[in-house]
Amino acid sequence: MTTALAANPSKTAAEKRASNARVRNNRRGSKGGIFLGLLAWVIGIIFVFPVFYMLLTSLHSEFDAATNPPSFFAPLTLDGYREFFGASSGASPWPPLINSATASIVSTIVVILLAIPAAYALSVKPVEKWTDVMFFFLSTKFLPAVAGLLPLYIIAKTIGVLDNINFIVILYTAMNLPIAVWMLRSFLADIPVELFEAASIDGAGLIRTLRSIIVPIISPGIAATALICFIFSWNELLLANTLTSIVAQTAPVFLTSFVTSQGLFLAKVCAAATAVSLPVLIAGFAAQDKLVQGLSLGAVK
Amino acid sequence: MRLTSKLVAAVGLSTVLAATAACSGAGGAGGVGGGGGGASDNSINVLMVNNPQMLALQKHIGEFTKQSGITVNFTVKPENDMRNQAAQEFANQSGQFDVATLSNFEVPIYSKNGWLTPLDDIPAYKADTTFDQADIFPSMTKSLTGPDGKLYGEPFYGESSFLMYRKDIAEKVGVKFNETPTWDEVAAAAAKMDGAESGMKGICLRGLPGWGEVFAPLTTVVNTFGGTWFDKDWNAQVNAQPFKDATTFYTDLVKAHGEAGAAQAGFAECLTATTQSKTAMWYDATSAAGSLEAPDSPVKGKMGYVQAPVKETKASGWLYAWSWMIEKKSTKADNAWKFISWASGKDYENLVGQQDGWATVPAGKRESTYANADYIKAAGAFAEPTKTAIESADPTNPGVQPRPTVGIQFVDIPEFTDFATKISQDISGVIAGKTTVDEALDNGQKLAQAAGDKYKGK
Amino acid sequence: MATATATPPDQTAPAPKKTKVPERSFGERWGDKKGWARRVPLLPALAFIVIMTQLPFVATILVSFTNWNANYPDEIKFGTLQNFVTVFTDAGLRQSVFFTILLTVTVVLVSLAFGLGIALLLNRNFIGRGAVRTMMIAPFLVVPVAAALLWKHAMYNPEYGLFNGLLTQVFGASAPQPDWITDFPRLAIMGELIWQWTPFMTLILLAGLQSRPGDVMEAAQVDGANAWQTFANMTMPHMRRYLELAGLLGTIYIIQQFDSVFTLTAGAYGTANLPYTIYQTLYNAQDYGLASAQGVIVVIGTIIIATFALRTVSSLFEEGN
């Protein structure tokens, strides 16, 4: 599965790397090249192994999961996943998974909708002191969420939005907005100024400029930003753990409550960890090239 | 430098802006009541710890819904998380939950603050004819009654602590236990049983940080060694000799003959270790026996049960009851009571007994359980020792000296959860070989005294 | 590109831009329609962030001057400095400050170093490069709390964890069986975090390497530069911004790390970092006043650190248009 997914991205990036590759291949002897290639493989396997082991253990019986030395070749079973989906507890993981999906997707959409105009105002026709604004956005990411936990709880309780997924959406929007503005600004800064000038001669308003010129051009950048926001929202634990309980519980919170005190539970925990991580793993693998671009363009411009 | 001042200015300005917003927002803070509501009226929300008995309840809840038409939404969490959430929920009267699993530790504190609904005030409780309050152990009812004399909760299961051991291993190495062994005998037995089978350790004792984890068994050892957290005038006694002796004994024993990974082992890990024959003895909650004797347990029928080991006292078992309590804020007290009445009732015990095996019944709370022939037949090995342990536990006088407040394995003040958790991290560090008993307890003395000072002269 | 090497702090402010209008008075700017046309698209996002991030902290500041303990709801008073006295005299909090710094610096630097090495390897042509890259990314895509659970139970567990299992497999029944989390608590947390964050660093640095202009590299080679010279003189200056970016983003997230400490050790054995310490004060002690004071101190501390951090990475902006 991994190789199939990986084939695409390497092809798309091929042109960029072509000239680099030529340089390197000329430079390196083939023996050293083979060694370094092998080294890359070894390191890759070391890093992926815990993930592979999580997947493997999730498919083992509890008994086989808890042996020392490990039983890599034990028969496979779906019992761990059955437990995750509530076989013996009757507690379904679907509401938390749906909550997580809602919180991640909706907040990501709102983030993008707010961040595109902001990024526009910070790059194409920048407002005065735009660097200060950028620094301000980024500085809010340094404020520890835990220090705001109590006020958020009290505010949520007072206005009656405890255990409300909409409140979580708003918080995740605030959490990801600075990074999104930062990333999108770097994409916008890539667009030649002439394009906008032409648009303003045409008399296009801001919204039309955004819709018909900017969004189409930076759509890969928007996708990358959205992916990052989605991942960080899906992963969030601290806020959700404090502010949700029954109706709005998210998947990571569900996961923490899944570790029980009942005897053997390793396979079950691995199944749960795999299931909860799956959306991010799929999204991340499918869009790894975009991920690279999205995370790095902020450094280029 | 220019940048620094700019950044500070930017942050400062926004803070001022927000302050204005905060002031206008704060006006409404007092007035608006919590929304609550939301779901259909015939549902209640329950927060509970993820112990085996609660998970079984979650499985059987359909039965209750069928009978009553009331839907029950559970939030299930590990003990430490659950306690955190419950404390926040009840302290703020957030109204997210109607019922939570609390215990005799919280009753005096929470009832004084008016965070709990007294059961006597609930019409459904007064009208309930099947629950049979008189059947609940008097010691339980007493420990769930507030200082104002009102009843605030019902036990789901009650427990004391006792010593569990493998009869076959004891026989193999030639160890015999009295009905109430001494800690010295237990230490000697642990040495003998250590390695009796390949990979088997002598004894499992909790080492996991947390006031309800390592300090539950350890405080009972402190009590019977003649120590106490506080003397009757709220002077902390944490680095006094008896407390030190007990802690040294406990940590030495677990280091020498305890389970692998002892510093991270709590109830759950010890249960696993004992079920898998990795330890020959286990000193812990009596409720563990239900899991050890469950139909699918590998050690079923192999375990013997004796009273909590002692040194200077006659008994040293703790007293604890995971209990249902209703938040004051809840508007569904009637439905909440119906749920409690069902979950802590006789019929539910029968249901579990018939479907999951009698040994796993949430016991330790009703006289009638111990008169039930089916239960005695399945739980014969531990039923009587459990009952004896619960009946001989005395929360008002668990040690050799008078105490300023109630509690066997805890001190019933709100500060206890914080300082005991902090000290427990150091005790766990002693077991992990990171620090010494003296260092841990000298530091602990300061923390405990700071809390005790609040109560001096009160 | 080469100008990025040495940037005195004074020049960190953006270079004047072609599009920028000359300095005008505030009144002129305020009344300027065009200026507003520029500002309007920014305002929703800015207002949203100001309200959502600053408002709670104002409340935190207010609470930090109270003796609010949830267990004593009848005794709340405003106007005490006691919480701040406690914060500055608390040895436990000092230790958590120290560990927060140690954790952040170690994890960020080690993942950066690993990330750079791996990115250099991945930037070469070899069989299955795409597959190796996919494998490298995987740890970053596991939900953090799931990763922490995985490492706690499936990797570090002394009885049935993978590490000790492999030791038994290789060295037999008499193999050492360390109790990883309690024997090496800090390293255990750092190891798990480095495993999760190295892929993130690798991704950023790999992108940096791939954006190296090929013609310059070729020119260098024609000049007879050897591999090391090319790396030191061409690659590293180009990579500086990417290293800074990766370091900055890593710092932002590791300094607030909660999930791993919460899951792996619950703050025992000297592994309580600042977020976890505040969490404990909030929940275990229910001391809202003290927790808020701790929060205020942390915010002030991080603003100072953030200012320095942003100054060092401000080269990210210097060529901004």
What pLDDT sits at residue B383? 94
Of residues C62, C73, C177, nearest to B260 (C-beta): C177
Number of domains in chain B: 2
Question: Is A177–C48 a contact, with Cβ atoms under 8 angstroms apart?
Answer: yes
Contacts of C134 (CB under 8 A, 6+ apart): A2, A3, A5, A6, A285, A288
Q: Which residue has the tokens 């260098």?
A: C220
**Confidence at C33, pLDDT banded by 50, 70, 90:** low
Question: Is B18–C55 a contact, with Cβ atoms under 8 angstroms apart?
Answer: yes
- Does residue C224 register a pLDDT over 80? no
User: Which of the pair, C90 or C305, is modelled with greater confidence?
Assistant: C90
B309, B218: one domain: yes
- Does residue C115 register a pLDDT over 90? yes
| Neighboring chain A residues of C316 at a CB cutoff of 8 Å | 298-299
CA distances from B383 to A85, B370, B386 (A): 35, 7, 5
Contacts of C184 (CB under 8 A, 6+ apart): C178
Question: Is B7–A241 a contact, with Cβ atoms under 8 angstroms apart?
Answer: no
What pLDDT sits at residue A129? 78
Taking all residues of chain B, what is their mean pLDDT, rounded to a whole number?
A: 89
Q: Of A223-227, B31-35, B259-263, give the lowest mean pLDDT range.
A: B31-35
- Which chain C residue shows the shortest CA-CA distance from B278? C159
| Neighboring chain A residues of C201 at a CB cutoff of 8 Å | none
Query: For residues C109 and C115, what is the distance between their CA atoms, to the nearest angstrom?
Result: 10
* Average confidence (pLDDT) over B84-95: 92
Alpha helices in B166-240 (DSSP H): 167-173, 183-193, 215-224
The 10s digit of each residue's pLDDT in B307-336 is 999 999 999 999 999 999 999 999 999 999
* Average confidence (pLDDT) over B23-43: 43
What pLDDT sits at residue C7? 36
The 10s digit of each residue's pLDDT in A128-171 is 778 888 888 888 887 888 888 999 999 999 999 999 999 999 99
- Does residue B20 register a pLDDT over 50? no
* Average confidence (pLDDT) over C45-67: 90
* Average confidence (pLDDT) over B31-52: 66
Owning domain of residue B169: 161-319+394-453
Q: What are phi and psi of B176, to 5 degrees?
A: -125, 140
What pLDDT sits at residue C27? 58
What pLDDT sits at residue C227? 78
Planar angle of CA A203, A208, A211, nearest 5 degrees: 150
Residue B41: CA count within 13 A, CB half-sphere: 2
Q: How far is CA C222 from the centre of its chain?
A: 40
The 10s digit of each residue's pLDDT in B188-202 is 999 999 999 988 999
User: Could you tell me if residue B8 is inside a domain?
Assistant: no
Give the DSSP letter string of B4-30.
Answer: HHHHHHHHHHHHHHHHHHHHHHHHHHT
User: Which of the pair, A264 or A94, is modelled with greater confidence?
Assistant: A94
User: Which of the pair, B212 or B31, is modelled with greater confidence?
Assistant: B212
Query: For residues B368 and B363, what is the distance between their CA atoms, to the nearest angstrom?
Result: 10
The amino acid at B204? C
What pLDDT sits at residue B295? 87
How far is the alpha carbon of C299 from chain A, nearest alpha carbon, in Å? Answer: 6
Q: Is B331 on the interface with A (CB under 8 A)?
A: no
- Does residue C316 register a pLDDT over 90? no
- Which chain B residue shows the shortest CA-CA distance from A86? B59
Q: What is the CATH number of the domain that holds B303?
A: 3.40.190.10
* Average confidence (pLDDT) over A50-58: 95
Question: Is A137–C49 a contact, with Cβ atoms under 8 angstroms apart?
Answer: yes
Query: For residues A217 and A213, what is the distance between their CA atoms, to the nearest angstrom?
Result: 6
**Chain A stretch 1-60, residues whose beta carbon is closer than 8 A to a beta carbon of chain B:** none
% of residues, chain A, pLDDT over 70: 83
The 10s digit of each residue's pLDDT in A62-78 is 888 888 888 899 899 99
**What is the SS3 assignment for chain C?**
CHHHCCCCHHHHCCCCCCCCCCCCCHHHHHHCHHHHHHHHHHHHHHHHHHHHHHHHHHHHHHHHCECCECCCCCCCCECCCHHHHHHHHCHHHHHHHHHHHHHHHHHHHHHHHHHHHHHHHHCCCCCCHHHHHHHHHHHHHCCHHHHHHHHHHHHCCCCCCHHHHHHHHHHCCCCCCCCHHHHCHHHHHHHHHHHHHHHHHHHHHHHHHHCCCHHHHHHHHHCCCCHHHHHHHHHHHHHHHHHHHHHHHHHHHHCCCCHHHHHHCCCCCCCCCHHHHHHHHHHCCCEHHHHHHHHHHHHHHHHHHHHHHHHHCCHHHHCCC
Q: Cis ω on the peptide bond leading into residue A69 (within 30° of 0)?
A: yes
Tokens for C50? 């100001």
What pLDDT sits at residue B104? 92
Q: Of B5-9, B265-269, C24-28, give the lowest mean pLDDT range.
A: B5-9
B183, B61: one domain: no
Taking all residues of chain A, what is their mean pLDDT, rounded to a whole number?
A: 82
The 10s digit of each residue's pLDDT in B397-442 is 999 999 999 999 999 999 999 999 999 999 999 999 989 999 999 9
What pLDDT sits at residue A145? 86
**Confidence at A295, pLDDT banded by 50, 70, 90:** low
B309, B333: one domain: no
| Neighboring chain C residues of A231 at a CB cutoff of 8 Å | 141
Query: Which residue in B374, B370, B369 sits closest to B384, CA to CA?
Result: B370
What pLDDT sits at residue B31? 30
CA distances from C191 to C155, C195, C239, C256, C298 (A): 11, 6, 25, 17, 25
Q: What are phi and psi of C136, to 5 degrees?
A: -65, -35
**Confidence at C317, pLDDT banded by 50, 70, 90:** low
* Average confidence (pLDDT) over A254-268: 78
Which architecture characterizes domain A94-252+278-299 according to CATH?
Orthogonal Bundle (1.10)
* Average confidence (pLDDT) over C37-65: 89
Query: For residues B37 and B41, what is the distance between their CA atoms, to the nearest angstrom?
Result: 8
Q: Is B12 on the interface with A (CB under 8 A)?
A: no
| Neighboring chain C residues of A170 at a CB cutoff of 8 Å | 52
User: Which of the pair, C154 or A187, is modelled with greater confidence?
Assistant: C154
The 10s digit of each residue's pLDDT in B182-233 is 999 999 999 999 999 988 999 999 999 989 899 999 999 999 999 999 999 9
CA distances from B1 to C13, C307, C311, C316 (A): 10, 10, 9, 17
What pLDDT sits at residue A18? 45
Planar angle of CA A219, A224, A227, nearest 5 degrees: 125
**Confidence at C307, pLDDT banded by 50, 70, 90:** confident
What pLDDT sits at residue C218? 67
The 10s digit of each residue's pLDDT in C5-15 is 333 334 344 44
- Does residue A22 register a pLDDT over 50? no
* Average confidence (pLDDT) over A42-60: 95
- DSSP E strands in chain A: the ranges are none
Q: Of B406-410, C39-43, C139-143, C270-274, give the lowest mean pLDDT range.
A: C39-43
User: Could you tell me if residue B448 is inside a domain?
Assistant: yes
What pLDDT sits at residue A297? 57
The 10s digit of each residue's pLDDT in B350-408 is 999 999 999 999 999 999 999 999 999 999 899 999 999 998 898 889 999 999 999 99
- Does residue A229 register a pLDDT over 50? yes
| CATH homologous superfamily for the domain C90-319 | MetI-like (1.10.3720.10)
8 A C-beta contact, residue C244 and residue A49: no
What pLDDT sits at residue B41? 74
Contacts of C28 (CB under 8 A, 6+ apart): none
| Neighboring chain B residues of A241 at a CB cutoff of 8 Å | 81
Q: Is B58 on the interface with A (CB under 8 A)?
A: yes
Question: Is C73–B113 a contact, with Cβ atoms under 8 angstroms apart?
Answer: yes
What pLDDT sits at residue C60? 92
Question: Is A3–C57 a contact, with Cβ atoms under 8 angstroms apart?
Answer: no
B134, B150: one domain: yes
The 10s digit of each residue's pLDDT in C283-302 is 888 999 999 999 998 888 87
Q: Of A168-172, A195-199, B163-167, C286-290, give the lowest mean pLDDT range.
A: A195-199
What pLDDT sits at residue A102? 95
8 A C-beta contact, residue B381 and residue B303: yes
| Neighboring chain C residues of A151 at a CB cutoff of 8 Å | 55-57, 59-60, 63
- Which chain C residue shows the shortest CA-CA distance from A111? C45
The 10s digit of each residue's pLDDT in A23-36 is 444 444 567 788 89
Q: How far is CA C201 from the centre of its chain?
A: 11
- Does residue B24 register a pLDDT over 50? no
What pLDDT sits at residue A143? 80
Question: Is A154–C59 a contact, with Cβ atoms under 8 angstroms apart?
Answer: yes
Question: Where are the domains positioned within chain A?
Answer: 94-252+278-299
